[in-house]
């Protein structure tokens, strides 16, 4: 099964600066402050996570190490806790687990199980970044089912506090070190049960291909948290579409070929997203809103068998039907006929449609943790950006040096 090792990383020399120099790996649209302003903060981790193409050829990572901005830590396993209020229910949750180094193997039950598709262009960009900067500042997030409470028992072991602070989204982060005598036992826990990848599909695939390309065995920093502590339903990633030329009546005509359109208020669309039945979707337009109920026989006729089987999770079917069928617009539009963006935040999505920043929004329902687990174990893959695990990992909490490890 998965092989886990003590994590040897660099950290900011001044850990009191973490609230100002680290940031959650959220979609850029979700930041309430101006993301661009972070680039003007000296030594901010965004410079080693989302660097601008206009930067100089030299990696600032090597300079930060040389100048003492970063210090090297001894190999260890960390206890990491995220305490947060759920963005929809407001309920308080505590996510807890370990941060360690994970051996990068091919996907599968012997290493890591994915649940979403991967964009090859994003992976290629990730490889180019690693080639230039030789650093990983963004741990992936995995889930571990622990019915025997083996990991939970070790999480009760004594630890030394490294840092504790609250980020701009209100999540409290607490990082601690386990005592040395517990590390060997903790790293051996994951040889019997699979790890489910929650967040970081592209980062993991990037490391697979990077290692193969250069014949290396670089590890990847990974946060492994308890599946049992997650909310029962994972937040969905809603879709925002902006067409070069948009005609509402044409969109509705297309949708009526495959869906029953039930007019509702936008507030009722939001309420509907929290219901358990996953066989319907929401549509937000500037002037009106609908619940989309699929006409099954027409749905099956439209998509090929392979797509239909892959979209067996009803939450994912909207990508195969609506977005692909909208290619009818393509005949009358320029090559880049629509912009597709994603958001977990229903309120922000609605405001973008009302302001004209988006022509319409497609509202998905969350998938239950039980369904996701079943999906993964059945080797099914949902489309890219089907789930939104909240809160996100922090960039800049640790820096994993690829040169040191090889």
Same domain? 202 vs 318? no
Residue 87, SS3 per DSSP: coil
Rounded to an integer, what distance in angstroms lies between the CA atom of residue 171 and that of residue 177? 20
Question: Taking each helix axis from N to C terminus, what angle separates 120-133 and 201-214, rounded to the nearest 10 degrees?
Answer: 60
Summary count for the chain: helices (H), strands (E): 15, 24
* Shared domain check, 394 and 337: no
> How far apart (Å, rounded) are the C-alpha atoms in residues 291 and 251?
14
pLDDT in tens, the chain (406 residues): 789 999 999 999 999 999 999 999 988 777 766 788 899 999 999 999 988 765 556 789 999 999 999 999 999 999 999 999 998 889 999 999 999 999 999 999 889 999 988 889 999 999 999 999 999 999 999 999 998 898 999 999 889 999 999 998 999 999 999 998 888 888 888 877 789 999 999 999 999 999 999 999 999 999 999 999 999 989 988 999 988 888 899 899 888 888 899 998 877 787 776 665 556 789 999 989 999 888 877 676 665 555 544 445 555 677 777 777 777 666 655 555 678 888 888 888 999 999 999 999 998 888 888 888 888 888 878 878 888 999 999 999 999 999 876 5
How far is Cα 389 from Cα 239, in angstroms, rounded to an integer?
Answer: 16
Distances (CA, A) of 42 to 17, 39, 135, 167, 243: 11, 8, 18, 18, 38
- C-alpha closest to that of 167 among 315, 384, 22: 22
- Tell me whether residue 15 is exposed, middle or buried, using C-beta atoms within 10 angstroms of its C-beta: 0 to 12, 13 to 18, 19 or more: middle
| 147 and 129 together in one domain | yes
Residue 139 and residue 10 share a domain: yes
Structure token digits, residue 395: 């960039």
Which domain does 90 fall in, by range? 4-230+389-405
Count CA within 13 A, CB hemisphere, residue 358.
Answer: 22
What backbone torsions phi and psi does residue 200 show, to the nearest 5 degrees? Answer: 120, 25
User: What separation, in Å, do the N-terminal and C-terminal C-alpha atoms of the chain show?
Assistant: 23
Number of domains in the chain: 2
Same domain? For 76 and 89 the reply is yes
Residues 161 and 204 in one domain: yes
CA distance 19 to 31: 15
Count of residues in the chain:
406
The model's pTM is 0.90
> Do 24 and 171 meet the contact criterion of CB atoms below 8 Å apart?
yes
For residue 352, give Cα distances in angstroms to 285, 347, 360, 363: 10, 9, 9, 13
The contacts of residue 54 (CB under 8 Å, 6+ apart) are none
Which of 372, 401, 405 is CA-nearest to residue 386? 372
173 with 56, same domain?
yes
* CATH number for position 210: 3.90.1530.10
> CA 280 to CA 188: how far, in whole Å?
43
Count the neighbouring beta carbons within 10 Å of the beta carbon of residue 48. 22
Q: Cα separation of 91 and 274, whole Å?
A: 14
- Whether residues 329 and 214 share a domain: the answer is no
How wide is the angle at C-alpha 45 spanned by C-alphas 43 and 48, nearest 5°? Answer: 100
Nearest-angstrom CA–CA distance, 172 and 393: 12
Work out the burial of residue 274: count CB atoms within 10 Å of its CB; fewer than 13 is exposed, 13-18 middle, 19 or more buried: exposed
Same domain for 239 and 184: no
pLDDT in the model for residue 328: 67
75, 204: one domain? yes
| pLDDT for res 360 | 94
Residue 104 has a pLDDT of 96
**Residues 393 and 273 occupy one common structural domain:** no
**Same domain? 212 vs 242:** no
CATH, residue 322? 3.30.1760.10
Q: Which residue has the tokens 């079943």?
A: 374
């Amino acid at each position: 099964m998965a092989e886990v090792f003590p994590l040897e990383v660099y950290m900011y020399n001044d850990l009191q600066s973490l609230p100002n120099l680290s940031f959650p790996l959220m979609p850029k649209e979700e930041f309430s402050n101006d993301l661009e302003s972070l680039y003007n903060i000296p030594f901010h981790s965004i410079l080693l996570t989302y660097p601008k193409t206009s930067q100089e050829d030299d990696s600032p990572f090597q300079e930060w190490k040389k100048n003492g901005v970063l210090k090297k830590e001894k190999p260890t396993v960390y206890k990491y806790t995220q305490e947060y209020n759920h963005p929809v229910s407001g309920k308080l949750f505590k996510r807890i687990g370990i941060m360690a180094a994970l051996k990068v193997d091919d996907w599968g039950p012997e290493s890591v199980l994915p649940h979403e598709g991967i964009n090859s262009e994003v992976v290629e960009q990730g490889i180019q970044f690693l080639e230039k900067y030789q650093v990983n500042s963004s741990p992936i997030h995995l889930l571990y089912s622990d019915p025997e409470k083996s990991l939970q028992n070790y999480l009760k072991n004594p630890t030394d506090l490294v840092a504790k602070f609250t980020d701009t989204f209100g999540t409290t982060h607490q990082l601690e070190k386990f005592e040395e005598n517990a590390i060997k036992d903790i790293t051996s826990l994951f040889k019997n049960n699979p790890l489910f990848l929650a967040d970081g599909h592209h980062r993991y695939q990037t490391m697979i291909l990077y290692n193969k390309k250069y014949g290396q065995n670089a590890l990847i920093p990974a946060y492994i948290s308890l599946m049992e502590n997650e909310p029962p339903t994972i937040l969905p990633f809603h879709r925002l579409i902006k067409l070069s030329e948009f005609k509402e009546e044409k969109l509705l005509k297309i949708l009526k070929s495959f869906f029953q359109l039930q007019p509702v208020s936008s507030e009722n669309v939001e309420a509907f997203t929290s219901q358990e039945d996953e066989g319907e979707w929401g549509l937000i337009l500037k002037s009106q809103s609908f619940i989309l109920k699929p006409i099954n026989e027409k749905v099956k006729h439209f998509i090929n068998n392979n797509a239909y089987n892959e979209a067996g999770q009803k939450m994912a079917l909207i990508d195969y039907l609506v977005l692909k069928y909208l290619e009818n617009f393509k005949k009358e539009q320029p090559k880049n006929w629509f912009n597709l963006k994603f958001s977990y935040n229903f309120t922000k999505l609605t405001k973008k449609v009302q302001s004209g920043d988006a022509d319409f929004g497609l509202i998905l329902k969350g998938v239950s943790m039980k369904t996701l687990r079943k999906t993964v174990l059945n080797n099914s893959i949902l489309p890219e950006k089907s789930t939104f695990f909240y809160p996100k990992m922090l960039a800049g909490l640790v820096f994993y040096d690829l040169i040191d490890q090889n």
